[in-house]
Structure 1
């Protein structure tokens, strides 16, 4: 079968033929229809992710995908052949960038009838990160103000909508056509980070969702009110700076919330949350998708079909 793999860290992912994976007793074999690219994939390729996950090489990339169950393991009772599912594979094994993927049955949730495989594949890590960083980590409440950096990206497009629907006032940073996208998704104020210093116009916010890291994160401490909360998905915040500013700051990892994907998918459907797709790229044009991912300019999710 076709797959996208790496054999050593820092090498460009390559397409190659490999055997269809065997199915363990607690797994299902999925005929993959769509796979989302995530910044996590770039961290896997660079070797950074190996500091947090026990990764064995060579590795087929892709944690978030959707498709149809082709085969079930002997101990699997919740799924049947032909079921449409969304899968969130473990980052240590991945496997979704292939024609078939074997994953634990517990890593799958039902793909709603109203949703395409492309939309379903776009949800797992990005939506889980957006939802739980805002509400489980930052404890954002109705009436509060949140500053979301990179509001037009894969996580940001979900975060803007989740925060707005929860009754928060949303300020987002973006650039180019991302400015109008963030406004359309519900942001009350959108700042062009290429021309506006956000610290000069944003003050006393309750929450900062940092999806960028670096200097952007460091300067974000200035705009929080005393007792405010900063949550970052990009890099560990400076604990000493947080203490000196009288705020709390934490790093967010989505993996611990994967078991709640089913509830989140249902909520996305019920609330009419838009799943924003940057582009859909054929499997044979994977290099184009990868180039778009590492550029950091995607508006929403990049999908390999």
Structure 2
């Protein structure tokens, strides 16, 4: 079978396509899944470029974290799945055992997993759609339901950008009866999101937009759009350069789910000079101290949260936004496209024919 490995984090060209033996059942609770599709997350190209929180392990890593596929073999004590079931990978219990990094990833034609590491896919979704859920959608769900403060009908949620986490957050928030303020530098992308989520937008004031290029003081525009009040939730993807304005955008005891640090990589949201970073860090500390806001590092969700997420999507018949689908031998091109930031929603790679 074919799989992609990374031996050094020096760019997407370091991805290596290899031919290896197909995995075999080793334990009684093992399952072998034929991977039909995988999807990419920001952390995938961060890993190939050596800027993720985890280093490339000795001996290399089979890359990518999200996938959906068909159960083709089961161990003698597997009770949750049978041959032919459609399944998707769950999130790792610990970041140190992250799939696609220190643990074997999903960029492979077949994958050996424990039955506790997969869940049945939502029945109304394709393999390509199911492959988008574990990391990005799990992070979005955890952002709104993973703390003591959970989203309520009538809350306001600020979604930064139009990538996978932002679009999933918007869908989940709208489904819960909340108002969404989506920020982006592209009006066209936001309008595409509006069209896709149209069935969930029950009135015009439920989905509002904020162009970051037109409104440099995004916190003031959030308050204006929200009728003079700060937001209840904000999903932060930018990092140190956008966090001060995000803190000013939420209420006292409002929750900021810190899910990424894209501006720290690209310098898109502010100065990139190293000498400014101490000043920016100091500003964050001051803003947070006097705001009373809560900032929580958030990634993925647990198995039970994924079950809840699936149930919600079954009820609303939500379909993820897929920007582009690549073939398996185009994985490097898919990584380059993901790294460009030009996509809307998720990027999917087909591994096996459906």
* Pair in the same fold by TM > 0.5: yes
Bigger mean CA deviation after superposition, 104-113 or 231-240 = 231-240
Residue 30 (structure 1) aligned with residue 33 (structure 2): yes
| Deviation (angstroms), 1:23 | 2.9
Q: Distance in 2 between matches of 1:94 and 1:239?
A: 38
**1:260 is paired with a residue of what secondary structure?**
helix
Contact map agreement 1:95 1:102 (CA 8 A) in 2? no
Q: Distance in 2 between matches of 1:254 and 1:110?
A: 17
**2:39 is paired with a residue of what secondary structure?**
strand
| Deviation (angstroms), 1:42 | 2.5
Could you say which residue in structure 1 is the equivalent of 2:17?
15
Matches within 5 A, 1:1-305: 1-12=1-12, 13-25=15-27, 26-49=29-52, 51=54, 55=57, 57-88=59-90, 90=92, 91=98, 92-137=102-147, 138-150=149-161, 152-176=162-186, 177-184=188-195, 185=197, 186=201, 188-197=207-216, 198-203=218-223, 204-235=230-261, 238=284, 241-255=287-301, 257-305=302-350
5+ unaligned residues in a row in structure 2: which ranges? 93-97, 224-229, 265-280
Q: Distance in 1 between matches of 2:219 and 2:242?
A: 10
Contact map agreement 1:153 1:299 (CA 8 A) in 2? yes
| Deviation (angstroms), 1:50 | 5.2
Q: Distance in 2 between matches of 1:45 and 1:259?
A: 30
Deviation per CA, 1:284-305: give whole Å up to 9, x if none.
1112211111112321111100
The Cα RMSD (Å) is 2.4
| Deviation (angstroms), 1:74 | 3.4
Normalising by structure 1, we get a TM-score of 0.90
| Deviation (angstroms), 1:194 | 2.5
| Deviation (angstroms), 1:97 | 0.8
| Deviation (angstroms), 1:49 | 4.5
**1:139 is paired with a residue of what secondary structure?**
coil
Bigger mean CA deviation after superposition, 158-167 or 85-94 = 85-94
Comparing both chains, which one has the higher relative contact order based on Cα–Cα distances under 8 Å and sequence gaps of 6 or more?
A: 2
Over 3 Å counting, the alpha-carbon distance change for 1:14 and 1:259 in structure 2 is farther
Deviation per CA, 1:209-260: give whole Å up to 9, x if none.
11222322222112223332212111599555312222221111225x2443
Q: Distance in 2 between matches of 1:57 and 1:228?
A: 44
Bigger mean CA deviation after superposition, 91-100 or 280-289 = 91-100
Contact map agreement 2:142 2:305 (CA 8 A) in 1? no
| Deviation (angstroms), 1:47 | 4.4
Q: Distance in 2 between matches of 1:263 and 1:99?
A: 28
Bigger mean CA deviation after superposition, 27-36 or 111-120 = 111-120
Over 3 Å counting, the alpha-carbon distance change for 1:225 and 1:77 in structure 2 is closer
Over 3 Å counting, the alpha-carbon distance change for 1:292 and 1:54 in structure 2 is closer
Q: Distance in 1 between matches of 2:215 and 2:62?
A: 41
Over 3 Å counting, the alpha-carbon distance change for 1:302 and 1:261 in structure 2 is same
Normalising by structure 2, we get a TM-score of 0.78
